[in-house]
A and B are shown apart, each in its own frame.
Chain A
C-alpha cells in the first residue's frame, strides 16, 4: 500500500513536470512527423508493388497451387499489389526500381514443405525502397514460418497414415492439396481482419513505421528520469526521511519500480493513441495485442532504466551512462533508422537489443495485422528481458 503511495507520488511529480511531458510526448510525436514526412511525403507511401516468381516445375499442380495460394494470400493485404512474373522480368523490374521487391519461390519448395528438405525463399529488394521491401520481407518470413509449421504437421499426418498402408500417389496429391488449403485458410485469418478494418486506407502509413520506434526511444529517456529519482531521493534526504518512517527499504524499492512502470505504461498508451489521432496509424485489428505489447515494452524500458540507476552511483551518472546506453541501443536496435536494410550480421547484433524486439512487435501488429499469437516471440523476449533487468536491479538496489 505504501509502495503504491510512493509510486503515485512519483507519477504525480513526473506528470506535473513540463520537461517530462515534452520528453514523453512532444518529442516522439514531433520527430515521427518530421522523419515520416521526410521519408514518405505527406500521407504515406503508395501501394507496395512486388512480383512473385514461380519455379518452373511444369505440370506440377502443387507448385502452381502454392504460388497461386501465396499470391492470393498476399493480395488479401490491401496495400500489396502482387503480380506473378518470371525470374528475368522480376530481376529487371526490381533493379530498375519499377517494383519494390520480388519473391523468388525456389524449386523444390513443395519437397521442402512436405519432406523437410532445405530450401530458400529469396526476396529481391529495391535498395531505394527500404521500408516497402522490409514489409514484404516480414510478410515472407511469416509465410515461411507458417509453411514450415504446415509441413511438419503434414509429414506427421503422412507418417501416421502410412503406418496403416502405403498411400497411392493420387491420395498423396489429394492430401497435399487439402493440407495446403488448410494452411491457406490459416494465413487468411489476419488478412480478413485487415479488410474489415481497412477499407479506405490504401497506402502504407510511413508514420506507422517510425511512431513505435521513436516511442520506444523516448520511453527509455523518460524512464531514465524516473530511475534517476532513486538517486535524487537519496541526495535530497527524502530517502533518509522515509527510512525514519515505518517504511521498509523493500517498500521504497517497490514503490520506485511501480512508479516508473506506471509512467512507462501511461506514456506508451498515450503515444499509441496520439499515433492514431495525429498520424492516422491503424495499429492492426487486435487492440488487446497492442495493449499487451505496449505494457510489456513499458516493463522492459522501466526495468532497464532502473538497472542502469542501480549500477550508477549518482544521479548525474544515471544521466551520462544511461544516455550513452540508450543511444547505442537505439542505433543498433533500429529505433532511429530502418534496420531491415542492414546486412545480416548487423541484424544479428540488433537482436540483442531491447529496441529491436519492441519495435519488431509493433511492426508486426501494424503491417502484418498480427494478433497475440503473431507477436508471441516479441512478447516472450521483451518479457524475459524485463524479468532479468528487474531481478538484477532489485538485487543491486537492496544491497545499497
Chain B
C-alpha cells in the first residue's frame, strides 16, 4: 500500500541535543483515513507533525506527503497540507475574516474563490455572525475554531490537527470533533494528535500510540486492545494505596499489568472475576479507603498501561470519566 499512502513516514528521528524527541517513528496513512497519534505530554506528537509539515528537519529518516518528500520539496508539500497548530496562531487584533483572508492568500487561494470559501468555512465553524469581530474578543473555543478554519481554506489533501480540543468546553469539543468527521466524510485525510483516549477512540480509524518519542503500537482500537492479552480492566478509586499493592498485583498470574496514579489504580486482568474478592480484602487490610471499583472491558487506556506501565489518565484537562465526547454519524 506504500504507493497509495498520503502520509508515509519512515524511521523518522529528531534529536535536540540529548533529547530524542522522535525516535525512529514509522507509519503510513492511506487516503481518507483519520489517523490518531495518541500520547502524553512530551511524547513527540508535535515534533512528528512538525517534520511532516516541513517545519522541523528530521535528524534521520524520511517522509513523503502525497508522494512528495518533505525534505526535498518543502514548497510542494506545503501546498498539499493544512496545518492546525497546537497553539492559536492568528493575529489577535484583526477580525476573523481578515485573518482568514490573510491565511487564504498565504496558502495561495485564488482571489476570485477566496470570498466564497471564507463564507463557507465560517458557516462550517459556526462563526458567520462573529466574522467581523476581532480575534482577541473571542472565547477560547471560538479562537480554536478560527484556528482550524484557517487551515482548511485552501482545501488541502491532508489536514494535520495538533490537539485542537485542549482547554475548551465539552460542547465546543463536540462540535470540533463533528467537524473533523464531516470533513473526513468529504474525503479529507486527517492526522489527529491527542492525549485524550476518548477522542482517539471516537474519531480515529487507526491509532498510533506514542511515548517518549517512540511509536509503541499501531492499529485499530480493536486490534490494539486484542494485543494486551487481558479480558477485563479493573479500575479502583481509593485513598491510602501505595506502590506495594502494585507489586503484589504484578506477582499474580491473573494480572497482566497494574499502575497506580494518585488515588486511581488500574489493573489489566486476564481472569477478572476471580481477582476481585482477593483485591478488596487486600485493600481493606492495608488500610485503604475504597470509594469505587469498576470492571470494564479493555480500552486504549489499558493498551497504554500495557505498553508503558504508566497511565495516560494523569493529565489535567482530561475529559471527565465517561463523558461523551461526541456522536459518530
Contacts and interface: CB of A to CB of B under 8 A. Distances in A.
Contacts, number: 57
A240 B89 contact: yes
B267 interface: no
Contacts of A248: 75
Contact of A2 (B55, B79, B89, B105): B105
25 contacts: A2-B106, A5-B106, A9-B94, A13-B91, A13-B93, A13-B94, A16-B93, A236-B87, A236-B89, A237-B88, A237-B89, A238-B91, A240-B55, A240-B85, A241-B85, A244-B83, A244-B85, A245-B78, A245-B103, A245-B107, A245-B108, A246-B75, A246-B79, A246-B108, A247-B78
Given A13-B94, A16-B93, A244 B103 contact: no
Interface string B213-256: 00000000000000000000000000000000000000000000
B162 to A, nearest CB: 11
Given A5-B105, A5-B106, A9-B102, A244 B93 contact: no
B98 interface: yes
Interface of B: 53-55, 75, 78-79, 81, 83, 85, 87-91, 93-94, 98, 102-103, 105-108, 150
Interface in A1-48: 2, 5-6, 9, 12-13, 16-17
B94 A237 contact: no
Contact of A9 (B53, B79, B89, B91): B91
A247 to B, nearest CB: 5
Nearest to B78: A246
A243 B57 CA distance: 12
Given A5-B106, A245-B106, 16 more contacts: A5-B105, A6-B106, A9-B91, A9-B102, A12-B94, A12-B98, A17-B93, A237-B85, A238-B91, A240-B85, A242-B106, A244-B54, A244-B78, A246-B78, A246-B106, A247-B106
Nearest to B92: A236
Contact of A5 (B53, B75, B79, B102): B102
A271 B292 CA distance: 73
A235 to B, nearest CB: 10
Q: Which 4 A-B pairs have the closest CB atoms?
A: A237-B89, A241-B89, A244-B83, A245-B106
Most B CB within 10 A of own CB, among A2, A237, A240, A246: A246
A248 B78 CA distance: 10
**Interface residue tally of chain A, by bracket?**
20 to 34
Nearest to A237: B89
Nearest to A236: B89
Given A12-B94, A12-B98, A13-B93, A243 B55 contact: yes
Contacts of A9: 91, 94, 102
Contacts of B75: 246, 248
A244 B53 contact: yes
B104 to A, nearest CB: 10
B78 to A, nearest CB: 5
A240 B85 CA distance: 9
Contacts of B55: 240, 243-244
B87 A237 contact: yes
B89 A243 contact: no
Nearest to A232: B91
Contacts of B93: 13, 16-17
